[in-house]
Chains A and B, each alone.
Chain A
Amino acid sequence: MTVGREFLWILIGTALVPLLPRALPLMLVNRLKLPGYVMKFLRHIPLALMSALAVQAVWTEGERWISPGDNLQWLAFFPALLAAVFTRSLLLTVIAGVAAAALLAMV
Chain B
Amino acid sequence: MRSMKASTIGRNTESLSFRQGVMDCVPTLLGYWSIGFAAGVIEATAGLSLLEIGLLSLFLYAGSAQFIVAGMMAAGAPVMSVVATVFFVNLRHLLMSAALAPKFAACSPWKNLLIGSQLTDETFGVAAGRLTGTERHADRWMFGLNMTAHINWIAANLTGALAGGWIADPKRYGLDFALPAMFVGLAAMIVMQRKQYKKDLPVIACAAAGFALAFQWLPGYAAVMAAAVLAAIAGAVAER
Contacts and interface: CB of A to CB of B under 8 A. Distances in A.
A2 B51 contact: yes
Interface string B209-240: 01110010001100110011111110110010
A11 to B, nearest CB: 6
Give the dominant DSSP class at B's interface.
Answer: helix
B236 A51 contact: no
B228 A49 contact: yes
Interface string A13-25: 1110111011111
B180 A46 contact: no
Interface string A38-52: 011111111111111
A63 B220 contact: yes
Q: Which of A29, A54, A73: most chain B Cβ within 10 A? A: A54
A56 B185 contact: no
Contacts of B117: 19, 22-23
Given A26-B104, A63-B220, A94-B185, A21 B91 contact: yes
B98 A45 contact: yes
Instruction: Please classify how large the interface on chain A is, using the bins under 10, 10 to 19, 20 to 34, 35 or more.
Output: 35 or more
B93 A18 contact: yes
Contacts of A103: 174
A47 B191 contact: yes
Instruction: Please classify how large the interface on chain B is, using the bins under 10, 10 to 19, 20 to 34, 35 or more.
Output: 35 or more
Contacts of B179: 57
Interface string B111-129: 0110111010100111011
A88 B1 contact: yes
Given A18-B65, A51-B207, A52-B208, A93 B95 contact: no
Contact of B182 (A2, A27, A94, A99): A94
B203 interface: yes
Contacts, number: 305
Contact of A46 (B87, B91, B109, B129): B129
Nearest to A81: B184
A4 interface: yes
Contacts of A57: 179-180, 183
Interface stretch (B13-21, B78-86, B149-157): B78-86
Contact of B79 (A9, A25, A46, A101): A9
B203 A11 contact: no
25 contacts: A1-B50, A1-B51, A3-B52, A13-B83, A14-B86, A18-B65, A21-B94, A27-B116, A40-B239, A43-B236, A45-B232, A47-B187, A47-B200, A48-B228, A51-B203, A51-B227, A52-B207, A53-B121, A54-B184, A56-B223, A80-B180, A84-B188, A94-B185, A101-B174, A101-B181
Interface of B: 1, 26-28, 30-31, 48-52, 55-56, 59-60, 62, 65, 69, 73, 79-80, 82-83, 86-87, 90-102, 104-105, 109, 112-113, 115-117, 119, 121, 124-126, 128-129, 171-192, 194, 200, 203-204, 206-208, 210-212, 215, 219-220, 223-224, 227-233, 235-236, 239
